[in-house]
Amino acid sequence: MATAARQTLKIGLIPADGIGHEVIPAARVAIEALGSDIPKPEFHDLLAGFELFKRTGEALPEDTVETLKECDCALFGAVSSPSTKVTGYSSPIVALRKKLDLYANIRPVLSVAPSPDQQPDVDLIVVRENTECLYVKQEELTNGTNGKEARATRLITERASRRIGQMAFELALARPRKHLTIIHKSNVLSITDGLFRETVRAVPSLDSVGGRYNDVTIAEQLVDSAVYRLFREPQIYDVMVAPNLYGDILSDAAAALVGSLGLVPSVNAGDNFVMGEPVHGSAPDIAGKGIANPIASMRSAALMLRHLGYTKGADRIDKAVDEVVREGKTLTPDLGGTSKTQEVIDEVVKRI
């Protein structure tokens, strides 16, 4: 939380790959525009990513990790993920989540402007467990009687499920509807998803005060039907909590309902650190063209500041962004506009 005694806010900036180099500067400018509503920002430019790996053989330098440990928070741009195995390479964002114990990926998805195809209003949060599931990346390829056999280990632990469950309950408790949906596939994966489901459901019973989460309504949804209902009736969802893979898919799907991945922010949060990260990828097809949507990175900066307790500054960024999107005159091509990245940045900052 924010404290009056803090004179500076140390923020690590990791553009990483592709359009990360265009959108992270946008988030920085938005933060700088807040003036005295936050402590004086002190930015640290840091390296990571697949492009760095191709140049140096290292995707996440130890210097980056050590500097982040001295920061109050960070912003991560986007990372390229090769579709085939590259020897020695592993995703730096996955590694950072583990090294900094950022166990929760919090992804709000919110309608701002009226949908042209009359989609229902969307106002939900996907809370994604960030450290395990299939993303532990324990895979092996062997030869068997049926030719090559590929296997992957899926890890679900009681500790991780309990932590993400408590984070989800806290988020639900703070929202008007106070509704939490547990996403799983325990009808098929009865052991792994069964443990996740049971552990999250048990969170209220572990409350030492007793009754803290009495106002939170708990629902469940199988992940396949959750995707279907997300597109058919997204208004039924408030806070959704899911294992890593399901949360990744659901939040990208939800982004389609509000027009673009370029609008959707997230934070990677732990008990002692928070890192903002736009949900979109590195978009190599448009990198360097000056048309990347900077809004998700700006919203991620606001989400990061809000998590730290700087609500006034976060509200100013969100309000400015929402005004630009609603007005619809200064939008990048992914939203049907013709504006350049810098034009959107200038318009948002003017309103901040």
- The more confidently predicted of residues 298 and 111 is 298
Catalytic choice (45, 121, 224, 271)? 224
Same domain, 164 and 190: yes
Catalytic choice (252, 315, 322, 346)? 252
74: domain range?
1-103+263-352
Residue 2: its pLDDT value, please?
46
In a domain, 225, yes or no: yes
| Predicted confidence (pLDDT) at residue 225 exceeds the cutoff of 80 | yes
Catalytic choice (17, 72, 103, 185)? 185
- What percent of the chain is predicted at pLDDT more than 90? 81
In a domain, 26, yes or no: yes
Phi, psi (rounded to 5 degrees) for 225? -70, -25
Same domain, 141 and 234: yes
Same domain, 305 and 350: yes
Same domain, 295 and 188: no
Residue range 331-335: mean pLDDT, rounded: 93
Annotated active-site residue 224? The verdict is yes
Listed residues 226, 257, 288: the one ending a domain: 257
Q: With both helix axes pointing from N to C terminus, report the angle between 341-351 and 20-32 in degrees, rounded to the nearest 10.
A: 20
| Predicted confidence (pLDDT) at residue 194 exceeds the cutoff of 90 | yes
Listed residues 223, 257, 291: the one ending a domain: 257
What confidence tier does 4 reach under pLDDT thresholds 50, 70, 90? very low
Residue 35: its pLDDT value, please?
94
| Predicted confidence (pLDDT) at residue 207 exceeds the cutoff of 80 | no
In a domain, 186, yes or no: yes
> Whole-angstrom Cα distance, residue 338 to residue 348?
16
Catalytic choice (17, 238, 248, 334)? 248
Lowest mean pLDDT among 84-93, 215-224, 289-298: 84-93
In a domain, 111, yes or no: no
Annotated active-site residue 185? The verdict is yes
In a domain, 108, yes or no: no
- Which residue's structure tokens are 């009865």? 190
Same domain, 139 and 214: yes
Residue range 219-225: mean pLDDT, rounded: 97
Lowest mean pLDDT among 2-11, 22-31, 180-189, 251-260: 2-11
> Whole-angstrom Cα distance, residue 317 to residue 300?
10
> Whole-angstrom Cα distance, residue 61 to residue 55?
12
Same domain, 132 and 71: no
Same domain, 229 and 245: yes
Same domain, 274 and 316: yes
Tens-place pLDDT, residues 112-162: 765 555 456 889 999 999 999 998 888 899 998 889 999 999 999 999 999
In a domain, 109, yes or no: no
Instruction: Assess contact for 258 and 185: CB atoms under 8 A.
Output: no
Residue 206: its pLDDT value, please?
81
Number of separate domains in the chain: 2
CATH of the domain at 291: 3.40.718.10
Distance of CA 156 to the CA centre of its chain: 20
List, in sequence order, every beta strand (DSSP E) within the chain.
Answer: 8-16, 40-45, 73-78, 104-110, 123-129, 139-144, 147-152, 179-184, 217-222, 239-242, 267-269, 274-276
To the nearest 10°, the Cα dihedral for 220, 225, 230, 231?
A: -170
In a domain, 321, yes or no: yes
Annotated active-site residue 135? The verdict is yes
Q: What is the largest CA-CA distance in the chain?
A: 67
Same domain, 129 and 99: no
| Predicted confidence (pLDDT) at residue 293 exceeds the cutoff of 80 | yes
Residue 208: its pLDDT value, please?
62
Listed residues 212, 234, 257: the one ending a domain: 257
| Predicted confidence (pLDDT) at residue 329 exceeds the cutoff of 70 | yes
In a domain, 110, yes or no: no
Same domain, 194 and 312: no
- Closest C-alpha to 126, from 17, 13, 257: 257
pTM of the model: 0.89
Same domain, 135 and 30: no
Residue 111: its pLDDT value, please?
86
Tens-place pLDDT, residues 81-126: 887 888 899 899 989 998 999 999 999 999 876 555 545 688 999 9
Residue range 285-306: mean pLDDT, rounded: 97
Catalytic choice (17, 72, 103, 135)? 135
Same domain, 346 and 307: yes
Residue 82: its pLDDT value, please?
83
How confident is the prediction for the chain on average, in pLDDT?
Answer: 92
- The more confidently predicted of residues 75 and 137 is 75
Residue range 47-67: mean pLDDT, rounded: 96
